[in-house]
Amino acid sequence: MFDKLFGRKKKNESPEIKTPPVSFGRYSDNNKTLQKTKRWTDADNLFKENRYHESIAAFFDYLRDDAVQNVVSEGAAGEHRFRIYQGSKLVRGIFNNETLSAEVTLARMAQPSVPVMRRLLEQNFNLYYCRYGMEDDRLCMRFDTELATANPNKLYYAFKELATRADKQDDLLLQDFQTLLPIDTEHIEVIPDSEKEVKYNYLLQWITETTALVNMLDADKMSNAISMLLLNLAYRIDFLLVPEGRLLYDLEDLVTGYFLKDEKPVTEKNKLMLQAFQSIGTYSKEIVFPCFFRSKHSFAITQPTPQKTISDSVFGSNQSMIWFRDNNYPEVAQQISEYGLGYCQYNFSLPKPISDLYLILMKVSYAAFFRDLGFSPALYNSETGEFNVSTIEQQVETIINNWKEKYPQLAFKTENLKYDSLLSFTHSFTAEVEFVNTEAR
């Protein structure tokens, strides 16, 4: 008892920690350290002093994730080349004393295609900084600017438009036009088939389990709960499986269709979501496996949100959960309690400590999935109902300590966590996240 209270542990009791190189969640650029954010200020000040090359160097340093080297810049005096990675696409650029230009290749068009060119012409009207173009048989996106106007703010939004649009459009073009061929994808990291197998199996398992939960509920009286179950399934698949290509767009269409402001009743939207999931559940490995790969990113596709939005979402979900908890629907209540944080993780670029805390919740709630991927020790044993309390609390404390410099008021009261059931843990854990203060220094 005293060992547990004061955190003492025998050396031979420490379990071996295994962390496979598996990434979770979409990239967020809301994860800069205090030193990185200062580089933005440096870039802005250097630009105002007309020290353009130094300003761009500071900007690239701000953008670069040193752990993955998603931005590479090199060159001699007078001319520099750079590369910016974003998913399946690679932005290549060059700047000298007068101009800066950047380009990304979308696909190869061996045969001229009017429908393809019409699609790109229409898409041009939606771009602010960039434009579509063609060189030989390569479909491209380009951005150009004079160096004297290349301030950090302009560069950030121009590169973000170029990189994120290209990363999405290449898959859509290849999916919609069979005559186009993939190109410039050598930087993509292929993941082992064993990892793909685990992800594929859990994709089907989670769809089957959620369908069973939905079928337990009255479609009319419990329509809002059914919506949360189905949407939370989409958020979980997106965060834990990190699909790309066809599977990603199916999920995005499913979620977007629900939140679309139209005249369809909630029951009809739920029916469409359930049908979409059931369709995904029939996908073969030949369809799903190519959707799993790893790549570097430099820009988030979502925007940051105030802490109050996160707190309100978590609070609302936990309030909605109470009736189901008290009326013997523990699995439904568990999913609804999880929904609030999952909604924020999917829709917003969250501060890194919040995303890291969400990952701990996922490691507990879906411990078997992480075990099958090779992670250990497990944070929860679903067969015995036992929690790995010391490891959970240690991981929470590590997150808080790692980000204390940027978020001085960051805190998490692990003493308020409850371990009598998975539902109690999820409720108490998300309730603590509700009060996490991520006001930056």
Q: Is residue 21 situated within a structural domain? A: no
> Do 61 and 119 sit in the same domain of this protein?
yes
Residue type, 225: A
Confidence of residue 178 (pLDDT cuts 50, 70, 90): confident
Q: Is residue 10 situated within a structural domain? A: no
Confidence of residue 340 (pLDDT cuts 50, 70, 90): very high
pLDDT of residue 292 exceeding 70, the answer is yes
pLDDT of residue 14: 57
Token output for 113: 């295609």
Residue that is last in its domain, among 242, 272, 296? 296
Q: Is residue 28 situated within a structural domain? A: no
Which stretch of DSSP H or E encloses residue 259? helix 245-259
Q: Is residue 20 situated within a structural domain? A: no
> Do 95 and 143 sit in the same domain of this protein?
yes
> Do 177 and 269 sit in the same domain of this protein?
no
Q: Model pTM greater than 0.85?
A: yes
- Please give the tally of structural domains in the chain: 3
Q: Is residue 134 situated within a structural domain? A: yes
What is the Cα–Cα distance from 373 to 369, expressed in whole angstroms? 6
> Do 177 and 46 sit in the same domain of this protein?
yes
Q: Is the sign of the CA dihedral 230, 369, 399, 403 positive or negative?
A: negative
> Do 229 and 335 sit in the same domain of this protein?
no
pLDDT of residue 13 exceeding 60, the answer is no
pLDDT of residue 90: 94
Span 351-368, average pLDDT: 97
Calculate the average pLDDT of the chain: 92
Span 246-262, average pLDDT: 93
Closest among 415, 412, 413, 417 to 429, alpha carbons compared: 417
Q: Is residue 268 situated within a structural domain? A: yes
pLDDT of residue 177 exceeding 60, the answer is yes
Residue that is last in its domain, among 249, 277, 296? 296
The answer to whether residues 130 and 102 touch, using CB atoms and an 8 Å cutoff, is no
What is the Cα–Cα distance from 42 to 57, expressed in whole angstroms? 10
Provide the 8-state DSSP code for 157.
Answer: H
The β-bridge partners of 72 are 83
pLDDT of residue 313 exceeding 60, the answer is yes
What is the Cα–Cα distance from 167 to 187, expressed in whole angstroms? 13
> Do 287 and 317 sit in the same domain of this protein?
no
The set of residues, in sequence order, having a beta carbon less than 8 Å from that of 181 and lying 6+ positions away, is 107, 108, 109, 110, 174
Span 59-73, average pLDDT: 92
> Do 284 and 305 sit in the same domain of this protein?
no
Are β-strands 131-135 and 89-95 bridged in parallel, bridged antiparallel, or unpaired? unpaired
> Do 325 and 416 sit in the same domain of this protein?
yes
CATH classification at residue 40: 3.30.1460.10
Q: Is residue 227 situated within a structural domain? A: yes
What is the Cα–Cα distance from 270 to 200, expressed in whole angstroms? 24
Provide the 8-state DSSP code for 106.
Answer: E
Peptide bond into 377 cis (omega under 30): yes
Range of the domain at 119: 34-181
List pLDDT tens digits, range 181-192: 888 888 888 999
Q: Is residue 26 situated within a structural domain? A: no
Residue that is last in its domain, among 147, 181, 215? 181
Closest among 177, 165, 166 to 115, alpha carbons compared: 177
What is the Cα–Cα distance from 406 to 403, expressed in whole angstroms? 6
> Do 171 and 252 sit in the same domain of this protein?
no
Token output for 131: 């434009």
